[in-house]
Amino acid sequence: MKKKSKNNATPRSGNNAKLRSDLGAWMLMLPSLVLFAFFVWVPLLETVRMSFYEVNGTTLVKFVGFENYRKLFIQPAFSIAWGNTVKYTLCSLIVGLAVPVIIAALITEMTHFRGFFRLAAYYPNVIPGIAAVMIYSIFFTSGDGGVLNILLAKIGVGPVAFLTDKAWVIFWIVVAMTWKAAGSTALVYMSSMAGISPDLYEAATIDGASPLRRFFSITMPTILRTGKTMLILQILAVFQILYEPMMMTNGGPNNASISIMQLVYKLAFEQLKMSQAAALSVEVCIILIILTAIYYMVANSGEKE
């Protein structure tokens, strides 16, 4: 019999080594995959299933098809909650995108104490979200007891109804959200600005360009790609806003600040309409999937550029 050549044995041994390496990687990932499936996929699929049933508590009783989805449209707060969520998103795009860029640009322009201001900008992000909301609830309290109203009284300005004015309540909630998250977003922009050659700024300064001119001519084009990604991520985050309006206004006044996720909470745990809450959750999930797909399209187009 002819002996097997070493050339034939090499690919097989290489394949075995690759198989063992892949198997080891999968074994390391297995606990995380099991936990992810148990805590994410199983509840998600069960929620989709529940949305098509009439339930008693959390027990499925009778299949009703799209009846739960139909009932959502006659909920008084349904259209209001969707409209408010859109308002939250649009307002955050005006305030929440501009503020981090301004912070990043100002800190980048500094020559002294830059590290201190980076730390100061990021510090609000360290505060737990619930604690930050409680701070702003006290700060924006309407009447003479609110911190901001006490300060305004010192300069002769009467009490302002920050969280009880329908026209402005969403804006002030977005301000609280921006204060909490602007620092971490500013650091992302600063990392993009760090890649800009200092020679460009020096040349622009020698030519007499003002800081504002340098920002729009040099900084802004550089961070544009990062801005696209942060835009989509911010929309995804703001779309799921829950505890800010819940703790600051409880959706008031008269549902003027209720968000779609807060409506899910109210349907499930206050009105005990679990199947309708499940149906609304499925709708939100579909919207988020679409937004995530848009994000990946934007990210991939940025890589190709």
211: left (phi over 0), alpha (psi -120 to 50) or beta: alpha
Helix or strand or coil: residue 259? coil
Distance, CA of 106 to CA of 65 (rounded, Å): 55
pLDDT, residue 280, reads 92
Phi, psi (rounded to 5 degrees) for 61: -110, -55
Reduced to 3 states (helix: H, G, I; strand: E, B; else coil), residue 55 is strand
What pTM, to 2 d.p., does this model score? 0.81
pLDDT at 85: 92
CA distance 252 to 244: 12
C-alpha to C-alpha distances, 305 to 175, 293, 301, nearest whole angstrom: 34, 18, 6
Quote the pLDDT of residue 213.
Answer: 84
Structure tokens at 24: 């080891």
Alpha helices, H only, the chain: 6-36, 42-50, 67-72, 78-109, 114-126, 129-139, 147-154, 169-193, 198-206, 211-214, 220-239, 243-248, 260-265, 274-304
In the block, tokens 């890589």 appear at 303
Is the CB of residue 276 less than 8 Å from the CB of residue 75?
yes
Q: Quick check: 234 and 97 in contact, CB under 8 A?
A: yes
Q: Is 258 exposed, middle or buried (0-12, 13-18, 19+ CB in 10 A)?
A: buried
Q: Which residues pair with 59 in a beta bridge?
A: 56
Task: Supply angle C-alpha 35, 40, 42, rounded to 5.
Answer: 95
Q: What is the pLDDT of residue 259?
A: 92
The confidence score (pLDDT) of residue 305 equals 56
Give the integer Cα–Cα distance in Å for 211 and 109.
8
Rounded CA-CA distance 298/101 in Å is: 20
The residue written with tokens 């977005």 in the block is: 174
* pLDDT tens, residue order, the chain (305 aa): 444 444 554 556 656 666 777 777 788 888 888 888 888 888 888 889 999 998 887 788 889 989 999 988 888 889 999 999 999 989 988 888 888 888 888 888 787 888 888 888 888 888 888 888 888 888 888 777 788 888 888 888 878 888 888 888 999 899 888 888 888 888 888 888 877 777 887 788 888 888 788 888 888 888 887 887 888 888 888 888 888 899 888 888 889 999 999 999 999 888 888 999 999 999 998 988 888 888 778 767 655 55
Local structure of 197: helix, strand or coil:
coil
Distance, in Å, from the CA atom of 23 to the CA atom of 33, rounded to the nearest integer, reads: 14
Instruction: Give the span between the Cα atoms of 109 and 105, in whole angstroms.
Output: 6
State residue 1's pLDDT score. Answer: 45
- Please state, in angstroms and rounded to a whole number, the distance separating the CA atoms of residues 137 and 170: 13
